Amino acid sequence: MATSTLFDYTVRDVSGKLVTGKMEAADEAALVARLRAQGHAPLKVKPAGTGLNREITLPGSNRVPLKDLAVMSRQFATMISSGLSLLRALSILSEQTACKPLARTLAGIRVDVEGGSSLSVAMARHPKVFPPLMINMVRAGEVGGFLETVLVQVADNFESEVKLQAKIKSAMAYPVVVFVIAVLAVIGMLLFIVPIFAGMFASLGGELPLPTRVLVVLSDGLRVGAPAGVVVLLAAGVAWARWKHHPAVRNAVDPVKIRMPVFGQLFAKIALSRFTRNLGMMMRSGVPILQALDIVGATAGNVVLERAAADLQESVRGGESMAGPLARHKVFPPMVAQMLAVGEDTGALDTMLEKVSQFYDQEVEATTDALTSLIEPLMIAVLGSIIGGMIIALYMPIFSVFTLIN
């Protein structure tokens, strides 16, 4: 698939109807042979996105939001439970999905399924669109004969994840906005207001107070180093976007995130909620426990829980319990280990995991509300102190202006 090309094609099917679509293939000859093997009569084949039909894409425009995957999964489950065939459901989804990258992917999956591939195999060919959790659950649903149930669970999981992300954004939005406003206000005063006052005080003579001299030095340094600072910030942003998922970076950053003074508890609860929800859902769907642990470790969003999942794998592979290794990882509170132990003893581990996930979802909501109510007055006080301190430092020399004039 790495050397394949996306083609637009027009064919006539067995009923004589004209059908257009997109398909990936090594070259035009391979695509024509593939279409003929499916019983179609190819009429036109050309590379996609050529000439005036080329699509203009912006960076990030090919990403499929999790919300669209949740909607698609729920619609897919509804159509299958209503008796529609898999091919018909995929065709309808590809036509009505508003997300263009997802629509193109679904059209390609329909062609693969029509060619004899299973749904999970066809989805696995698009790892940038469908997460491993969804692919493995669909595979379990195909094997067990309960695909519509699995798709509903996937939709519920993705919707819970979307709500979780919304809570995180609501908790971070206010402090980020206030911080940006404070930085812009300070930069604006240092670049435009402080030089005016500095020139006026210099023309009058006399010695400036220490706070005013500090502001003048900062203003001069900012005017000289502003271009270099912008370049450094842009380079740092690009480097972070490129290397933030590197194992060495994650090993250094992720443990610090859950130990932060204010937001550490929030990050830990978010990771625990995601970990327990995904593991419980996959076990309920019949995914093998070792495979499920491998997937939920990678999807937890924190390398600390990924290491815990690896320990759980070794414990289960050796015939031991899951609750034992959790006690060795401080990120898991004793309550989680005890509930998992009870779930193993009673044979209701998936139910216990779901209850733990619901508990931490509520904890995340309560923590975000508490952080928001705490951060608002703190940020206002900090912003007021910074701006007020700068204004006082600028106006301190004015008290001696009349003396200097005389």
pLDDT tens-digit series, residues 169-184: 777 777 788 888 888 8
Query: What pLDDT score does 51 carry?
Result: 47
Query: What pLDDT score does 325 carry?
Result: 76
Contacts 24+ apart (CB under 8 A), 253-256: 254/302, 254/303, 254/304, 255/303, 255/304
Query: What pLDDT score does 59 carry?
Result: 41
Q: Are strands 18-25 and 41-47 parallel, antiparallel or unpaired?
A: unpaired
User: How far apart (Å, rounded) are the C-alpha atoms in residues 299 and 1?
Assistant: 25
Specify the 3-state DSSP secondary structure of 193.
helix
Query: What pLDDT score does 158 carry?
Result: 85
**Closest to 168 in 3D by CA, of 244, 273, 69:** 273
pTM of the model: 0.65
User: How far apart (Å, rounded) are the C-alpha atoms in residues 335 and 332?
Assistant: 8
Query: What pLDDT score does 323 carry?
Result: 75
The four Cα atoms 375, 378, 379, 381 give a dihedral, to 10 degrees, of 160
Query: What pLDDT score does 400 carry?
Result: 64
User: How far apart (Å, rounded) are the C-alpha atoms in residues 142 and 248?
Assistant: 38
Query: What pLDDT score does 4 carry?
Result: 66
User: How far apart (Å, rounded) are the C-alpha atoms in residues 254 and 236?
Assistant: 18
Query: What pLDDT score does 250 carry?
Result: 82
Asked if 131 and 301 count as a contact pair (C-beta separation under 8 A), the reply is: no
Query: What pLDDT score does 328 carry?
Result: 77
β-strand partners of 22: 8
Instruction: For the chain, 406 residues long, give each residue's pLDDT as a single digit of tens.
Output: 445 677 777 877 767 677 777 777 777 878 788 877 777 777 777 777 554 444 434 344 457 888 888 888 889 888 888 888 888 888 888 888 888 888 888 888 888 888 888 888 888 888 888 888 788 888 888 877 788 888 888 888 888 888 878 877 777 777 788 888 888 888 888 888 888 877 777 776 667 778 888 888 888 888 877 788 888 888 988 888 888 878 788 888 888 888 888 778 888 888 888 888 888 888 887 778 888 888 887 777 788 888 888 888 888 888 777 777 777 778 888 888 888 888 888 888 888 888 888 888 888 888 887 877 777 788 888 888 888 888 888 777 776 665 555 5
**Closest to 204 in 3D by CA, of 394, 405, 397, 403:** 405
Please give the helix or strand (H or E) that residue 23 lies within, else none. Answer: strand 18-25
Handedness of CA 98, 278, 297, 270 (dihedral sign): positive
DSSP 131: -
Phi-psi region of 167 (alpha: psi -120 to 50; beta: other; left: phi over 0): alpha
DSSP 207: P
